[in-house]
Each structure stands twice: as C-alpha cells, then as structure tokens.
Chain A
Amino acid sequence: MKHHNPISLIILSLTTLLTLSSCQTEEDTHDPFFDTYYITDMGLNVSTAHQSGGITVPAKFNAVTGTLTPLCEDPLCTHTVDSDCPFIGYSKNNSYYEDGILYYWVNRTNTAGFQNELMAYNMETAASHVVVTDEELNEFFAESGAESTGYNYQFANGYYYRRLRDDNDNTIGYCRVRLSDGSIEEIPDDTVVPSAYYKNGQYIFVEYNGGIANGFYLADETGEPGNDHDVHLADKQIAILFDEEITDDTLLYCTIRRDENGAWLWEEMTLWAYNIEAREEHVVIESFPDVYLVRVGGYVYYTLYLDDAPVIGINENYNGKEVVNRSGGILWRTDIETGETEKAFELPAYTLIGTDIHRVGERVVIGYQNTDYSDYIVETTDRGEWYQYKETTGRIVFDTAAGTVGIYEEEEVENGSTIISD
C-alpha cells in the first residue's frame, strides 16, 4: 500500500480547516442543496466571434440524476469573457452557499482595472450583485492602520472573515463582512471562528499550535471554551479534523503515532472517532495513509493506492509499458463503529481520482479519468512531438442507502481546434 505525502495531507487539512464551504447557524437549517448537489466545474464547447474551443465553467453536479449543469442559469450565455456571465473569473474552492444564494470570489479585469470581488448569485432570480471588493476591504484595514503581509479568510455563519497577519503570523487586523448587506465590521484579534456546528448552539472550534491543529473543543458562538467541554488530544501531536456535519455525535480525526522507539510513523496514521456526548473515543482505522475520505452515515469512504494494481492497457508509444489502475477502481469503506473495511464497489475499468471525492446527501461521488492509450493523435511542436491520448472523465455515484452505482460520463470538450475523437 502506498500513501500520500503526509506533509501535503497536513497542509490539505489546514487548507480544509481554513476554507470552509458550509457552516450552519441553527440545528434545523441544514441546507437541502447539499443533499443533492456539490459545486465543481465542467468543460464546455463554445464558438463565438471572440472565443472558440473548450472552456471550463463553474457547475453543479446533481448526484441524484447525474447531471452536470453550469452554475450560470442562462441557457443563452456562452460563459466567455464577452458574455457578461456573472461567473467570469470565478475562483474555485472559494465559495459559500446559504439560503439559495451562492457567494463566491471572482477575479476579473474591467474598466477599473484588475479587481477581486465577492459576488452573490441568487439561484432563484438569477440576479447577482457585488457584496464587497478587495479594494474596500483594503481601505477598511488601512483606515485602522493595518498593513499586512497576507491574510487568511473563511466563510462561516453568514459572514466572510478576513484576518490580516504579519510575517510572523500575528493577527494585525480582523474583520468580517455580513454577506446579506456587505457591511464590514472590525472584530477582536482573538476572535475564533467555528469549524463546524454541533448542536444546541454549540460549535466545534479548533486549537492550533504553530499552525498545526492539535486539539478541538466545544463552545458557543463566541468561542470561549467551557471547562466541561474541553477536549484535548493529550497524547496526539497532530490532529486532522474532519469538519463535515457532525452526525451521531461523532467527530472524526486523524493522528500520527510513534513506534516503540519514539519515532513518528508518517506512513501510518490513525483514524479516530470521538463521541462528543459520551466523551469516548475509539480507533476506526489503526493504520490509515490517506485523508481524502468522506463520511456518510456510519461509514467513511475512500480510495487507496494499490501495490498490485490491475493492468488496464499498454502504452505502445512508451516501449509497451503496462498501464495500471492505481486505485483498482475500488471505493473502500470502513464502519466507524466496528472498524471493518470492505469494498463499496469495484470497477477496474475506471481510474478513480482519490482527491475528487465528495459526500452529497447519502451518496458518495467520486471522479474518474480513463485514458485510452490506443486512441491518440500526434501533436508536433518546436520541442518535438507528443501524444494526445483520448481521455474520458466523469463521476461515479454510490448510493449508500440503495447500494447502487451510477456512472456518468462528461461530454467531450474540444481542445482549441483539435477534436480528440469523433
């Protein structure tokens, strides 16, 4: 079994913790949007007077029907720079959805120059407007005398948070933007932002030390930890928190343990489950090399790199080298309570993308990309010739309740003037 670079996993965890995509304000306001959709992107073929070929546009994937549709709801929009599409310059992984409104950052160039703008798009009315711009936030901080070397940001509880920091990662300015009206207010430097909502007005907050998460606790919205709800990972130096919605009062996290000589076992992390009510924890997976997992119901789902991966083709252009499917086309799942692992499905012909795995309601959606090494065209450039192989991408939806698998292939997209296949 091979594993990902743990450093990248930890960075991923920090990134995940820092850029939340959803955080509920009340227990019963779970947004049904995410029971059906997740936000991704898709390729489109366009042909206008100004642009032609394949472009990538932000989209939503319906895990129930397997359809992929652009976020822009105008069927006549070409989504190109000359089309006034509200999603031009859309910044991926920097969005937030609440109450039928999608908030997202765009980087665009217009008559005023290059600007970053936080947009709000009403899915029902298809109307969009600017909530706040980067320039306004900079001016806000400048008025308070803060000049930063960088900033962290986060969406949570109907706000956009921005924390200015200096070279030593000290907070030198902190503000939040109310998404409903774009008003900016300064907040104390020590404000903590919750990672996830638990219940009964309680939130999960993460503790950091040196930029590494090493604990979590429960508290109300203010973030002040209560004495009887402190939870620390006393004997665990590194924690990777899975901050999806807490179900069955159970929080999942990964740690790294030492061997008998005290050395850290980077290649083997442990997946823990902590019952918040009972204040008990147990090991789910003793040795777990991957953090790209999703939790649905009582299971965690993930893919693994296989040492004995199945052979799925031969690359004649590369000395007849065997092409293998490193994932084996297998989606694994582990019971959180019992720790038993089994295959959710196995489709050897599909090369699963372990990093492209999502939970959508009671479904697991995982992307795949198949390469046909026998179907290619030769491109000749100044640097020589190279082979453009036919690639097929799509998504596989596993319905955890019904146990069914749906395979949804994406439409072929032209790459400039080259059509990959007929």
Chain B
Amino acid sequence: MKYRNTKQAENLFRGIGEIDEKWVTLAMESTGENAAVFDGIQKPKREHRHFILYELKKLLGVRYLWVFLVLLLLLNSAAAWYTADNTTAAEEPTAMIAEFFSGYFTDTEEYEAHYAEILAFNEEQNRLFTEAMHAGNVDFETETMPDVYSTDERYSDARLFAKLYEALNAAKNYPDVIQKVIDQANANLAEFTAMGISEDSFTWKYQMRVIALYELARDNVRIDVEYTRGWDEYFDYDLVNVFLAVMILMLGTLVFAQEKQNGVLPILRTAKHGRMRTACAKIAVMLLLSCAFVLLFTFSTFAVYGIRIGYSSPDNALQALETFTLSPYRITVGQYFGVTVLIRLLAYALFSGVMMAISTLFNSYILVYLAGLGFYGLNYLFSTLDHINASNPLRNLNLVSVSAVNPLFVRYRAVDLAGNVAGYVPVMLVTFSVLLVLSCTTAAGLYTRGYAGLRPVWLDRMLSDVMTFTAGKCTAVRTWIRKYSDRTHTAQHGQPGHSVRLRRARSYSMNLIAAETFKTLISSRFIFLLAVLLCVKIGYSADVYAPVRSYADAVYKEYMTTLSGPLTEDKLEYLREERAAIDETLSRQTEMRQAFLAEQITFDDYHAYLSDYNYAYSRSELLTVIEEHADYLARQKAETGIDGWFVYDTGWKTLFSGDADLFLYTAILLLLTGTFVSEYASRSSSGGFAQILRSTKGGREKTFTAKLLSAVMLAAVLAIVLCGADIALVFRNFEMPEIGAPLLSVQMFGTVTTDITLGGYLVLFVLLRLTGAVLMALLVCALSELLARYIPVLGSAVVLTLLPALCAAFGLGAAEKINFLNLLAGTPLVLQSMSMTAPGAALSGWAMLALWITVAGCAVGIMTVSARCAFIR
C-alpha cells in the first residue's frame, strides 16, 4: 500500500529528526523499501535559515539590548532636538520666509522694485549719517524703513531680501564659482609645464581630474532657487554616530562571546552545524541588526530635524546647500540622503565585523568591550589629528570620518595610488568592503577553528611555569623553616613543635576583603593586563610631562623667579625700570652704530652695547607677558582683596591642566565590572555561585561590604599610584616653587576667588581625582550587582561616564555639564563650578563644586544601596 508506506516513510523521516535524506535512503534500503517512496514527501528546506532566525531570536531576547536601544534612541533624539533647536534655521519664521519666496516668483517686478527702494533708502540714511558726523552731530540716529512683507518683527524685510538674494546669487554664481576652480587647475597645469613637472605625475593627473569633474558639474548642475532649510543642519549632525557606535559595541561584544561565557561553546562546536554554519548565521544576524540600528537611528534623527526645522525640496541639486557648493557629485539632496544612509550602513557593518573578530579573540566580555572601545577611540583620534596633508588616508578613511559622510562629499579628494589619481569615495567603498569581508572571514575562521578565547597557550604555559616555580620555592622555604623550628624546639624541649602537628597549612585567607582582592586581581589574571596598562601609562605620562625647553620659558622663569612673591611697589618699579631700560636700549641702536663708525666709541664699547641690544631685543616681548601678569595681579587685588604672587607656574599649569586619566578609567572598568557579575555568571543550568554564596555565613552583608571595600580600595590605590606618578614626573621635570602662593597667582585659576594656596589646591586636586575614582568604582560595582551581566554593566558605565564627554567632543556643549571625566580630571570641574557663580561671591564656587560632588555621590549612593538590597536579598 503506497500511501501507508509513504506515510510510514514520512513518519520515519520525521522521527529521525529530518536529517539528511541519504540516511533515510540507507535505512529504507536496509528494510527493502524503495527509496522512491520518499518522492512524495515534503522535504524540509535547507536549515541554515533556521540558524539565522534562531540567532536573531537569541539576540533579540537579550532584554538589556532593548533597554539600551530605547535609551540611546531617546538620548540621540534629545541631542538631535537640542542641536536642531540651536541652529539659526530653527529661529527663522519658516512659513513667512517660504511665503515670501513664493510671492517673489509670483510677482518678481514688484518685489525687486521694493528692494530697490530699500537700497535707496539705506543709502540715503548712510549719507545723512555721514553728514551728521561731519557736522559733529554724534547723536544722529538713522531711520528704518517700515516692513511691507514681514509679519515678524524679529525678521525685517531687509533680512527677507537678504535671504532671497543669497539663494538667487548662489544659483546664479554657481557656474562662476566652479569656473574659478577649473581656471585655477588650468593655471596650475600651465605652471607645471614651466616647472618641468611631468604629465605622468600625480599632481598633474589630479588637476586633470578636477577639471574633468568640475566641468561636468558646471555644465550639468542646475540649482533651483528656493528657501533651503533643514538639510544642511541635518547632514551636519554627526553625534548620532556616537550612539550608534555604543550600540554596535554592545551588540558586537555579545554575538560570539556569549557562548564562551556561558560555557556552551565546546558543546556547540561538536554539533553538526555548530561551527561554520553557526558562525555564518551569527555574522548574518549581526550585520542585519547593525543595519537595523543604523536605519533606526538615522530615520529617528531625520524625523527630529524634520519636526523641528523642516526640510526644503529633496529634488534640488546637492550644490544648493552651501556646505556642498564644491561637491563634484551631480546628485540631488534626496539622493545624497540615500548615500549617507548607505555609507553609514557600510561603515557600521565594518565596525560590526571588527567587533565580531575581536569577540572571537577574547574570552572575556570586558576585554572584548574595551578592545572595541579602544578601536573606536583610535579612529576618533585619527579623525581629529591635525594632519598636514588634507588627503592623508588616515584622516579620510577612519571610521569616524567615513560615518560622518560629509567630509568625503563636500569636495573632491583623491589619493595617490602609485602615481594614479583615485577618488576617496571609491577607495573608501573598496577598502571598507574588503575589510568587512576580511573581518567577517576572520571571525568565522577563529570561531570555527579557535580555542577558548585569548588565553594563548604560551601565556598560560608561562604563567603556570612562574606560579609553579614560585609555589615550589615557597614550599621549600616553609619546609626549611618548619624543620629548623622543630629541630630547635626538640633540642630545647625534647619534643617537636606545632609545625609537625599541623598536617596542612591554611592556604587561603579568612579575610574577605583580601580574598575579594585576590579574586579581582590574581584569579582573573587581570593583574598582568594592569601591569601592561601601568607601563604604557608611565611611558605616556613621561612624554606628556616632558620638560619644556624653550628660550621663552627660560626668560619667563628668570623674571618670575626674580619677582617671586606678592606684588609690591618695588616689583612694579623693577618692571618699570626694566621696560624703560629695554626701550631705551632699543632706541639707541642707530646712535650707537653711528658713534662706532665715527670712532667716537671703541669696538669693545660697541660690542658691549650689542650685547645689551640683543638682550633687549629678545626680551621685549617676553617682558610684556610679565607686565600683563602684574596687571592681572593688581586687578585681582582690587576685585577680590587677595594678594596674588609672581610664581614661575609652568610646572603648576602643566600638572593642574591635565586631562582625565583614561588609563585609570580603563583600569577601573577592567577590574571592577565583574565584581558582582562573576557571582551570577554561570556555565550550567543551575545558575551562578551567588545562590550558594548567600547561603554561607558571611555570604550576604559581609560579602557585599567586602566586595565594595575591596573595589574602593583598589580604585583608591590605583588613583593614588597613577596620580602620584604624574605628580612625581612633573615635580621631577619642572620647578615647582612657591607652594604657599595663592592659587589665583596662576592665571588659569583667575575665577577661584578664595585664599587657597597652590599646596592646598594640590591636595584638593588629588582628592578630587581620588573621589572621582572611588565614585566610579562604586558606580561600576553597583551596576555590576544591579545588572548582573557584563555587557549591560559595561554599556551603562560607558553611557553614564564616557558618553557625555564624547557628545561634548562632537559639539554638544551642554553635555559638558554632566561630563564625569571632568571630575576624574579635577581642574575642569573646579573651573566649571567657579564659572557658574556670580563674580565676587567668594564661597559659591566651592559650594557649586560641593554640590556637584554631592549630587554625584548621592546618585551613586542610591545605586549602591539598591545594589546592596538586591545582593542581600
């Protein structure tokens, strides 16, 4: 019976899990059934699509990803709104201007006639004003012509016409502007011929390419006259890339490292499709999600700008936007918007690929995250460095510049490829595509063939050799001590000592804090990374705090040392005399030379004068700096009553103006993220160690306190060591005189109007950095308990502490007010606090500082208390 056999076959097929047909065929053959019976069975589709869906479902099921996505979307939208709100376009009466433009095209003659009247009226007013000035009538005020078209008193007819003619002239003058570029290129070519520069040279070919591209632009681009708005401001907003980067960072950390962390990886690798197919699915999902995020953030930003400012026609030429006047691309504004989306998709696809490759290298979420953060930071550095050559590949092909898109499109840029001209846009597309393929291939390759993360065999072998050697030596020493002690005791008392009776020494500490510290530093092997970080930090600081060797500073030091101390009349007199002497010497140059040539003075006398002249000439400008400082001190005395000093402050300024210690920041993140998370991380279905821990005697309150104290202690020690290293370097390389001088003797502290000394501020400086480190440690610990997962903890810590600094760096000034790095740096927070108070209010600046720290402390405190409750219960 065919049907029954088919049904049986179908059931059999499904019963054995729908595996390859060949096995079924083999099975049926062994039972004598004809394999053709399977012809009617619906064969399952290829299974890799399920893998993609499964991976997608897995990632989308990570709740904190959604939380961060929503949070960052909201933050981006808020930042976009704030930025849009502060543009000039946001203040314009859009409807009125649009109506004005429309009216102009309807009745051009009437509008132009009125404009001519306005010009004539203004000219007449200028003439009357000039006459009045000639006549000595300084109180004369010009009149303003009443508005005809404007209905908004903030935006006069004159401004409306200025806006209109700006658009008209932009359209009209565009061909001339481009022609100038072409003419300049042709002029360069003419000069190259004269200079003997070869036609095969890059610079020759570059000129030819520019001519070709811009001739096309000149002849084909047509700019419509319209009231353009919204697009320039939208394209200029690149802060969205920071939020996208944070999101991709988090996602990329999760994709491959997840299985490593939860211990499933070895099992997964043994499954039939647990290697390449899984890797491909993961990569596909990662790229899919990164695309989704890019589109989400891009369109939400677009919507915000649209709501706040609005957009003009997307069909106008890109060159209608002032920023893109020199763009060689013959596309519309709307098409450029599409280009920005596509390029951003490519850029973040590459970042995703890099993150995936990194996540297959390391075992630990923390290392993956920090490595990814470091990669982004490096790209940011390349985008901000002042490169000499505008066509430098590092400047143009880094992730930050490419994702901003504008730098590649505002004008034509090319790179020299073996003497040939290659535009940066195609080079970028090819490079990023190749790198994307490479990174994905690397990720897949390492995942399928790699070991359990980056604990290279050679490192582990080296560590175990060291530990074995050390343990052996310790044992040998303990044994010798025991034997010696026993021998001595036996000789004295006739019986062995305690050491014999002890079967085994305790090798673990009963002190919880010590145990937690050991766990944080030693068990995790992070102490080695920390050591590397410290070495890099010291090398970096040695370079940053290298002594200043310049003539100007040597003279500055000489003057400040001579005048050292409070401003007195004697010192002012000294300055006056010095200035008079310098001026007098300089003025005698002609006279002395003539006297020498007329043999009225000897050569020795003249030579002596030349020495004075050199002195005067080289010091005149430098003395001005000292005189200005004297004026500053006098002003401060008058305004605040504080006697500032003359202090050689180069070293003090170098020390106090340092940025936040990112090495300390990284070390705290590295060490403390896993403080509580490690207790929840599990490689089995039975859950983490936290449950067991809570059941032990000191496993709740005591353990929580111990963890917290250990973390605080580590952070404090790190802060003191790193800050101490900086201070030691500065004190070694610079003179640091007058530690008792008032702080405002150093002009950068001109707003600090209390009588704190340099020494006092040094203590405060260290305390601020220490406080910042401790607060950050508490914050990370609290997050570690509250979120209980590495990636959310890392992501939250970065969002709360680093994101405001990044936003401020990308132009969002308001973010500076909540920039946590200012506290880690110390001085920026002090200066910010002082600047937010009224002048003359002596204590309010310190009160602001205390308020900042209190608010931060309270916020961290609340989180810590919540964490305590969560851990204990």
User: Min CB distance, A167 to chain B, in Å?
Assistant: 5
B133 at interface (Cβ–Cβ under 8 A)?
yes
The answer on a CB contact under 8 Å between A49 and B323 is yes
User: Min CB distance, B214 to chain A, in Å?
Assistant: 8
Name the one of B203, B387, B390, B549 contacting A124, with C-beta atoms under 8 angstroms: B203
A67 at interface (Cβ–Cβ under 8 A)?
yes
The answer on a CB contact under 8 Å between B593 and A127 is no
B31 at interface (Cβ–Cβ under 8 A)?
no
The answer on a CB contact under 8 Å between B385 and A111 is yes
Nearest CB in chain A to that of B589: its residue: A7
Interface residue stretch chosen among B182-190, B469-477, B502-510, B531-539? B182-190
Q: How many angstroms between the C-alpha atoms of A148 and B554 in the bound complex? A: 9
Q: Tell me which of B133, B187, B395, B554 has the highest count of chain A C-beta atoms within 10 A of its own C-beta.
A: B187
Q: How many angstroms between the C-alpha atoms of A165 and B611 in the bound complex? A: 11
A319 at interface (Cβ–Cβ under 8 A)?
no
A227 at interface (Cβ–Cβ under 8 A)?
no
Q: How many angstroms between the C-alpha atoms of A5 and B197 in the bound complex? A: 43
Q: How many angstroms between the C-alpha atoms of A125 and B201 in the bound complex? A: 7
Nearest CB in chain B to that of A7: its residue: B590
The answer on a CB contact under 8 Å between A76 and B603 is no
The answer on a CB contact under 8 Å between A84 and B181 is no
B69 at interface (Cβ–Cβ under 8 A)?
no
User: Min CB distance, A82 to chain B, in Å?
Assistant: 10
B386 at interface (Cβ–Cβ under 8 A)?
yes
- Known A-B contacts A10-B593, A62-B191, A111-B384; the reply to A169 vs B549 at CB < 8 A is no
B30 at interface (Cβ–Cβ under 8 A)?
no
Among A112-146, those with CB < 8 Å from B are: 119, 123-130, 134-135, 138-139, 141-142
The answer on a CB contact under 8 Å between B197 and A149 is no
Q: How many angstroms between the C-alpha atoms of A275 and B799 in the bound complex? A: 79
- Known A-B contacts A169-B610, A378-B130; the reply to A76 vs B210 at CB < 8 A is yes
B residues near A76, Cβ cutoff 8 Å = 181, 210, 326, 411-412
**Chain B, 378-395, contact with A by CB distance < 8 Å: what is the 0/1 string?**
000000111111100001
B106 at interface (Cβ–Cβ under 8 A)?
no
A306 at interface (Cβ–Cβ under 8 A)?
no
B residues near A151, Cβ cutoff 8 Å = 551
B side interface size, CB within 8 A: 59
Among B388-427, those with CB < 8 Å from A are: 388-390, 395, 411-412, 416
Q: How many angstroms between the C-alpha atoms of A127 and B387 in the bound complex? A: 12
**Chain A, 144-159, contact with B by CB distance < 8 Å: what is the 0/1 string?**
0001111100000000
The answer on a CB contact under 8 Å between B596 and A127 is no
- Known A-B contacts A75-B181, A124-B197, A124-B198; the reply to A67 vs B610 at CB < 8 A is no
The answer on a CB contact under 8 Å between B388 and A119 is yes
B residues near A32, Cβ cutoff 8 Å = 196
Among A346-392, those with CB < 8 Å from B are: 378, 380, 385
The answer on a CB contact under 8 Å between A65 and B190 is yes
Interface size class of A (residues with CB under 8 A): 35 or more
A168 at interface (Cβ–Cβ under 8 A)?
yes
B292 at interface (Cβ–Cβ under 8 A)?
no
Q: How many angstroms between the C-alpha atoms of A172 and B443 in the bound complex? A: 60
The answer on a CB contact under 8 Å between B195 and A210 is no
Q: How many angstroms between the C-alpha atoms of A127 and B206 in the bound complex? A: 12
Nearest CB in chain A to that of B596: its residue: A210
A residues near B187, Cβ cutoff 8 Å = 67, 69
Name the one of B130, B322, B603 contacting A380, with C-beta atoms under 8 angstroms: B130
User: Count of A-B contacts with CB under 8 A?
Assistant: 139
Among B186-230, those with CB < 8 Å from A are: 187-188, 190-191, 194-198, 201-203, 206-207, 210
User: Min CB distance, A401 to chain B, in Å?
Assistant: 17
B518 at interface (Cβ–Cβ under 8 A)?
no
Q: How many angstroms between the C-alpha atoms of A150 and B611 in the bound complex? A: 12
B597 at interface (Cβ–Cβ under 8 A)?
yes
A40 at interface (Cβ–Cβ under 8 A)?
no
Among B150-194, those with CB < 8 Å from A are: 181-182, 184-185, 187-188, 190-191, 194
B614 at interface (Cβ–Cβ under 8 A)?
yes
User: Min CB distance, A95 to chain B, in Å?
Assistant: 16
Q: How many angstroms between the C-alpha atoms of A111 and B134 in the bound complex? A: 49
Nearest CB in chain B to that of A384: its residue: B133
A192 at interface (Cβ–Cβ under 8 A)?
no
Nearest CB in chain A to that of B385: its residue: A111
User: Min CB distance, B690 to chain A, in Å?
Assistant: 47
Q: How many angstroms between the C-alpha atoms of A86 and B190 in the bound complex? A: 21
A15 at interface (Cβ–Cβ under 8 A)?
no
The answer on a CB contact under 8 Å between A263 and B598 is yes
B606 at interface (Cβ–Cβ under 8 A)?
yes
Among B24-82, those with CB < 8 Å from A are: none
The answer on a CB contact under 8 Å between A210 and B610 is yes
The answer on a CB contact under 8 Å between A127 and B416 is yes
Q: How many angstroms between the C-alpha atoms of A165 and B411 in the bound complex? A: 48
Q: How many angstroms between the C-alpha atoms of A142 and B551 in the bound complex? A: 11
A residues near B322, Cβ cutoff 8 Å = 49
Among A193-214, those with CB < 8 Å from B are: 209-211
The answer on a CB contact under 8 Å between A75 and B207 is yes
**Further contacts, 17 of them, CB under 8 A, given A67-B191, A75-B184, A129-B388:** A33-B195, A49-B323, A64-B194, A65-B190, A84-B387, A124-B202, A126-B203, A126-B206, A134-B550, A138-B549, A147-B549, A149-B614, A150-B551, A150-B614, A167-B611, A168-B614, A210-B603
Task: Give residues in A with beta carbon < 8 Å to B.
Answer: 5, 7, 10, 32-33, 36-37, 49, 60, 62, 64-65, 67, 69, 73-77, 83-86, 100, 108, 110-111, 119, 123-130, 134-135, 138-139, 141-142, 147-151, 165, 167-169, 209-211, 237-238, 256, 263-264, 266, 378, 380, 385
Q: Could you list some 10 contacts between A and B, CB below 8 A?
A: A49-B323, A75-B185, A77-B390, A129-B388, A148-B551, A149-B614, A149-B615, A169-B611, A210-B596, A264-B597
3 closest residue pairs by CB, A with B = A84-B390, A110-B386, A75-B184
Task: Give residues in B with beta carbon < 8 Å to A.
Answer: 129-130, 133-134, 181-182, 184-185, 187-188, 190-191, 194-198, 201-203, 206-207, 210, 322-323, 326, 384-390, 395, 411-412, 416, 547, 549-551, 554-555, 589-590, 593-594, 596-598, 603, 606-607, 610-611, 614-615, 617-618
